């Protein structure tokens, strides 16, 4: 197959303005000017014009005092969860917070006692990996098992990892960095184990809307009322609609005691969220379906292009993500005797996330963000390929 086939045009990606020179993008400004940044998880893509229109109107209002979400926004989130994920929620279950990461730290802060621990699955998004130590409690890590075609949950290992003090399980679904979208039977089994061991489930579902092929997202709390009662679901429009810098996320907490705990955990830290974030979230969920459909099509074609190209990289193995715009690459076979993210940064001028930050046993991995223009992706892969070729040439000498 021609490796360049299946290129989709999307002006939001293809005409994305220069983020390094014209904005304060962390992704583009963290590294030197000659580096292509395929690391931190936001997209090089203009957001939905409907969101921009709503933001312009809000800016023209001219007053930016502390915010309080309008009742319409609570209802819009309820409608979003019901229409997309068949989960019927109540407006009073929703709490806004300035970020999903803040949200899971907030609930752990409120409820953790000395001797408690947090169960997580690895490889894990670094703030999930660090959530327990931030709160000075311990962390039980259970690795996802990896076959040639899938990351899967080893349910026996999962249950064995629960210790007497384990109080919380942080689920990340869709999973960052593997891109797994867990199925209903998998979620039902996890839920049953959490119920048996009386764990509070903190479910990070920030990537829920970016799904490929026929994968479906199921909020774990939607499995049963019993599970909903012990679950804090965290999500946002931020990742999906590329508005993460506006710092507006939400928690859905059916149980009133957990809701109070969430408020207590936020005391002195989170009062109101960014008013522009509230406006953007409302516009995204009201009007953003068409933009999102086009965005997913572009991301999927980038994903497929990436995986066709990877066939030519001897020594890199990866499993196609089912959702997210992240690819998790095992570089063990490259035999470069060096941390692969450092290798690619130095020799290819491509910034990828270091696998070791997702769990210490993943130092031979990198995470690649393909939420960029096809041109950027092509250039990054060309640079990575020639860096490896040069390395092999030099090592032969
Ligand atoms: C799984 C996951 N959770 C949370 C976040 C960050 O969320 P927020 O910016 O709302 O704190 C990210 C960002 O990459 C993520 O991948």
pLDDT of residue 7: 59
pLDDT of residue 1: 40
* Residue of 206, 234, 246 with the most ligand 1 atoms within 8 Å of its CB, for mutation: 206
How far is residue 146 CA from its own chain's centroid? 20
Residue 270 — pLDDT band, cuts 50, 70, 90?
Answer: confident
pLDDT score of 146 more than 60: yes
pLDDT score of 6 more than 70: no
pLDDT score of 52 more than 60: yes
pLDDT score of 395 more than 50: yes
Q: Output phi, psi for 202, to 5 deg.
A: -110, 110
pLDDT score of 148 more than 90: no
Q: Please give the distance, rounded to the nearest whole angstrom, from the Cα atom of residue 99 to the centre of ligand 1.
A: 7
- Nearest Cα residue to 381 out of 300, 306, 324: 306
pLDDT of residue 138: 95
What value does the mean pLDDT of the chain take? 95
Give me the mean pLDDT over the 196-217 stretch: 98
pLDDT of residue 4: 47
pLDDT of residue 149: 85
Q: Please give the distance, rounded to the nearest whole angstrom, from the Cα atom of residue 304 to the centre of ligand 1.
A: 24
Strand partners, 139: 118
Q: Give the percent of the chain with pLDDT over 90.
A: 90
* CA of 324, closest atom in ligand 1: 16
Strand partners, 235: 250
CATH topology of domain 51-287: 3.40.640
Q: Please give the distance, rounded to the nearest whole angstrom, from the Cα atom of residue 243 to the centre of ligand 1.
A: 12
Which CATH class, in words, describes the domain spanning 11-47+289-396?
Answer: alpha beta
Q: Please give the distance, rounded to the nearest whole angstrom, from the Cα atom of residue 225 to the centre of ligand 1.
A: 26
Using CB distances shorter than 6 Å, the residues near ligand 1 are: 41, 99-101, 125, 172, 176, 204, 206, 236, 238, 244, 249
Give me the mean pLDDT over the 44-70 stretch: 97
Q: Please give the distance, rounded to the nearest whole angstrom, from the Cα atom of residue 11 to the centre of ligand 1.
A: 25
Q: What residue's CA is closest to ligand 1, atom 14? A: 41
pLDDT of residue 106: 95
Q: What residue's CA is closest to ligand 1, atom 13? A: 41
Secondary structure letter of residue 335 according to DSSP: -
Helix (H) or strand (E) holding 167, with range, is strand 166-172
* Residue of 101, 122, 131 with the most ligand 1 atoms within 8 Å of its CB, for mutation: 101
Give me the mean pLDDT over the 212-219 stretch: 97
User: For the segment 86-103, what is each residue's pLDDT rounded down to a tens digit?
Assistant: 999 999 999 999 999 999
pLDDT of residue 272: 87
- Nearest Cα residue to 128 out of 192, 178, 74: 178
pLDDT score of 277 more than 50: yes
Give me the mean pLDDT over the 276-299 stretch: 97
Helix (H) or strand (E) holding 388, with range, is helix 374-396
Q: Please give the distance, rounded to the nearest whole angstrom, from the Cα atom of residue 176 to the centre of ligand 1.
A: 9
ipTM over the 0.90 cut-off: yes
Q: Please give the distance, rounded to the nearest whole angstrom, from the Cα atom of residue 88 to the centre of ligand 1.
A: 24
Give me the mean pLDDT over the 379-392 stretch: 96
Give me the mean pLDDT over the 123-143 stretch: 95
pLDDT score of 263 more than 70: yes
Give me the mean pLDDT over the 225-239 stretch: 98
Give me the mean pLDDT over the 255-264 stretch: 97
Contact 39, 353 (CB under 8 A): yes
Give the domain ranges of the chain: 11-47+289-396, 51-287
For the chain, give percent helix, strand, coil, nearest 5: 45, 15, 40
* CA of 238, closest atom in ligand 1: 10
pLDDT score of 2 more than 50: no
pLDDT score of 124 more than 90: yes
């Amino acid at each position: 197959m021609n490796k360049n086939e299946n290129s989709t045009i999307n002006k939001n990606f293809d005409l994305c303005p220069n983020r390094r020179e014209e904005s304060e993008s962390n992704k583009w400004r963290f590294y030197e000017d000659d580096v292509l940044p395929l690391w931190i998880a936001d997209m090089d893509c203009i957001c939905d014009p409907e969101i921009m229109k709503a933001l312009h109107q809000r800016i023209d209002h001219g007053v930016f005092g502390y915010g309080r979400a309008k009742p319409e926004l609570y209802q819009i989130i309820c409608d979003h969860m019901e229409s997309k994920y068949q989960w019927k929620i109540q407006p009073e279950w929703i709490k806004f917070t300035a970020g999903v990461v803040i949200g899971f730290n907030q609930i752990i802060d409120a409820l953790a006692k000395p001797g408690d621990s947090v169960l997580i699955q690895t490889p894990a998004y670094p703030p999930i990996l660090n959530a327990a130590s931030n709160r000075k409690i311990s962390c039980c890590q259970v690795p996802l098992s990896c076959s040639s075609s899938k990351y899967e949950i080893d349910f026996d290992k999962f249950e064995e990892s629960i210790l007497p003090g384990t109080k919380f399980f942080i689920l990340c679904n869709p999973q960052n960095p593997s891109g797994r979208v867990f199925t209903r039977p998998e979620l039902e089994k996890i839920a049953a184990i959490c119920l048996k061991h009386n764990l509070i489930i903190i479910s990070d579902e920030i990537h829920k809307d970016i799904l490929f092929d026929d994968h479906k997202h199921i909020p774990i709390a939607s499995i049963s009322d019993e599970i909903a009662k012990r679950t804090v679901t965290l999500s946002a429009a931020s990742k999906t609609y590329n508005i993460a810098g506006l710092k507006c996320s939400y928690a859905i907490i059916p149980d009133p005691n957990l809701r109070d705990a969430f408020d207590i955990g936020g005391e002195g830290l989170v009062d109101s969220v960014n008013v522009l974030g509230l406006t953007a979230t409302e516009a995204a969920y009201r009007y953003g379906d068409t933009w999102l459909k086009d965005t997913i099509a572009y991301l999927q074609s980038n994903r497929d292009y990436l995986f066709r190209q990877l066939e030519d990289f001897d020594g890199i193995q990866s499993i196609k993500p089912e959702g997210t715009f992240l690819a998790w690459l095992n570089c063990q076979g490259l035999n470069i005797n060096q941390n692969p993210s450092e290798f690619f940064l130095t020799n290819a001028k491509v910034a990828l996330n270091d696998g070791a930050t997702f769990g210490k046993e993943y130092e031979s991995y990198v995470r690649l963000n393909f939420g960029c223009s096809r041109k950027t992706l092509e250039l990054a892969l060309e640079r990575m390929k020639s860096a490896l070729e040069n390395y092999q040439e030099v090592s032969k000498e």
